[in-house]
Chains A and B, each alone.
Chain A
Amino acid sequence: MSDLQKNFPIEKVPEARLLKIAERARHTAGKTQNRRRIGILDIAALIAATILGFLAWAKYSEPTVAKKPDALPQVAQPDTLRGRTTPPTERVAADEKEPAPAPKPPREKTALEKRRESIGRALAWLAAQQEPDGSYDGAKLGAKNCTTAATALATLAFLNAGHTHYRGAFKDNVKRGVNWLLAQQHENGKLLRKGDADTGYATAIATLAVTTAAEHVGDKDALIRVGAQKAVDYCANVHQAANGGFGYTPGPHGHTSPMGWFGSALYQAKTAGLEVRPQAFDKMQEYLEKHAKCKTGPGYAYAPNGAMSPACTAIAHLLRHKAGDAPADLKDEVTAWLERCGYPTWKDKYEVYRWYFAGPAVLAQGGDVAAKWIAKLDEALLTSQDMEGDDTGSWPNSAEYIGMLGRVGPTAMAAMCLTLTYQFESKDTAPIDPPTAPVQPSVPSKTLDF
Chain B
Amino acid sequence: MDALQSVFQASTADGVDLDAVMRLVGQELLHYARLITGSAETAEDAVHDTLVALLQQGDGARKIESSRAWLFTVLRRKALTYRKRIPLQFAAAFTETVEGDPAQRLILAEALAALSQPEQETIVLHLWDGLTFEEISEVLDAPRGTILSRYHRAVARLRERLGGLPETGTPVRYERSAV
Contacts and interface: CB of A to CB of B under 8 A. Distances in A.
Given A32-B52, A92-B53, A388-B142, A4 B152 contact: no
A354 B148 CA distance: 21
B56 A88 contact: yes
A80 interface: no
Contacts of B152: 396-398
A2 interface: yes
Contacts of A5: 127-128, 172
B56 A89 contact: yes
Nearest to B120: A450
A22 B22 contact: yes
A65 interface: no
B88 to A, nearest CB: 5
Interface string A347-367: 011000000000000000000
Contacts, number: 171
A76 interface: no
Given A2-B164, A18-B22, A384 B97 contact: no
Nearest to A388: B146
Prevailing SS type, chain B contact patch: helix
Contacts of B162: 1, 4
B48 A21 contact: yes
Interface stretch (A43-51, A100-108, A193-201, A439-447): A439-447
B149 A388 contact: yes
Nearest to B168: A348
A29 interface: yes
Interface in A31-48: 32-33
Contacts of A446: 77, 140-141
A5 B145 CA distance: 23
Given A8-B105, A89-B57, A396-B152, A21 B52 contact: no
Interface size on A, as a range, is 35 or more
Interface in B1-45: 15, 18-19, 21-23, 26-28, 30-31, 44
A411 to B, nearest CB: 10
Interface of B: 15, 18-19, 21-23, 26-28, 30-31, 44, 47-49, 51-58, 60, 74, 77, 80, 87-88, 90, 96-100, 104-105, 108, 117-118, 127-129, 133-134, 137, 140-146, 148-150, 152, 162-169, 172
Interface of A: 1-13, 15, 17-19, 21-22, 24-26, 28-29, 32-33, 88-89, 92-93, 95-96, 346, 348-349, 383-389, 391, 394-398, 441, 443, 445-450
Given A21-B47, A88-B56, 5 more contacts: A11-B99, A25-B51, A29-B51, A29-B55, A346-B134
